[in-house]
Amino acid sequence: MSSSFQRRDVLRLAAAGAAAMLGGAAYGQSAWPAKPVTLIVPFPAGGGTDAFARPLAAQFSKIAGQSLVIDNRGGAGGTLGATIAARAQPDGYTLFMGAVHHAIAPSVYPKLDYDLEKDFVPLMLLASVPQVLVVNPRRVTATTLKDFVADAKKNPGKLNYASAGAGTSHHLAGELFKLQTNTFITHIPYRGAGPALQDLIAGNVDCMFDGLGSSAQHIKAGRIKALMMAGGKRNPAFPDVPSASEVGLPDYTVTTWYGLWAPKGTPADVQAKVVEDMRKALATEELKTIWATNGAEIPNLVGKAYGSFVSSEIKRWAGVVKASGAKIE
């Protein structure tokens, strides 16, 4: 009797142990996400990061079966939201969508409360768009870059440009433009590209060196006018806008990119699942269309390759910051 009981006990415990092991594996590998996931976007709604984050969240939610909730945390050129994300619980339920601005920040901010390369795990690059010089046609009479530069040289400091904040790509793109054209245009920083773009459209500022993702719809609607696309070629979504190389600025190359990170310590299997589901979302026809409409490319950089890219961008922008003399205002 005792022997029989012991055998039954052993079999029952073994079965329970196997079930627990299988359940643990399932939880670690396939149960995520078991609840809504927060995506911290470090800028106010209406900017370039938001233009890609919201449609991405919608598709991701369909694929993952749980909501991806956008949490806009603007301020300090995107560094406030990054600080909040870096301190989040690394359980896979907080993700961070940063941008090229975060590769620039270490060179322009004397002290940050986070380290982009040490406090985060690089997951993947999501989108890449060229910078575009856009003007409010009611405030700026120039219709070509040549006339715009001539006006800026004739009236130093008269023209101004809005940016998403000190230390962002908008800011550095403006400073690089001034350096290469030998002009002076007054910088007006905002708390994100959304508010800056709204003021440009409203006619409160003259121009903006914006990421094409947030300006695209307003250029097409005629609210603002594009004078130049950064880089050496025209963008397929805006074939009538000349490239920087065409208008005499062959070295003016500024690209805005958007990427995904998780707080350091996020489990590897969860990281892999995030990347898998994000790739599925980016492969949908809906997102392919939105990316193309915004003049964006879908890069194929994940994990360590993405991390190496970010490291190279931090070094590259440090050189631009030094050459331009850009600083926090």
Task: Note the pTM of the prediction, 2 decimals.
Answer: 0.83
Amino acid making up residue 4: S
Are the CB atoms for 219 and 124 separated by under 8 Å?
A: no
If we measure between CA atoms, which residue out of 246, 261, 169, 175 comes closest to residue 214? 169
CA distances from 268 to 29, 36, 91, 263 (A): 9, 19, 10, 12
Are the CB atoms for 262 and 38 separated by under 8 Å?
A: no
E-assigned strand segments in 79-206:
94-99, 120-135, 160-163, 186-189
Q: What is the CA radius of gyration of the chain?
A: 23
The span from the CA of 86 to the CA of 261, in Å, is 9
The span from the CA of 215 to the CA of 201, in Å, is 10
| pLDDT values of the chain reduced to their tens digit, one per residue, 329 residues | 444 434 444 344 344 444 434 444 333 445 899 999 999 999 988 888 999 999 999 999 999 999 999 999 998 889 999 999 999 999 999 999 999 999 999 999 889 999 999 999 999 999 999 999 999 999 999 999 999 999 999 999 999 999 988 888 999 999 999 999 999 999 999 988 899 999 999 999 999 999 999 999 999 999 999 999 999 999 999 999 999 999 999 999 999 999 999 999 999 999 999 999 999 999 999 999 999 999 999 999 999 999 999 999 999 999 888 887 777 75
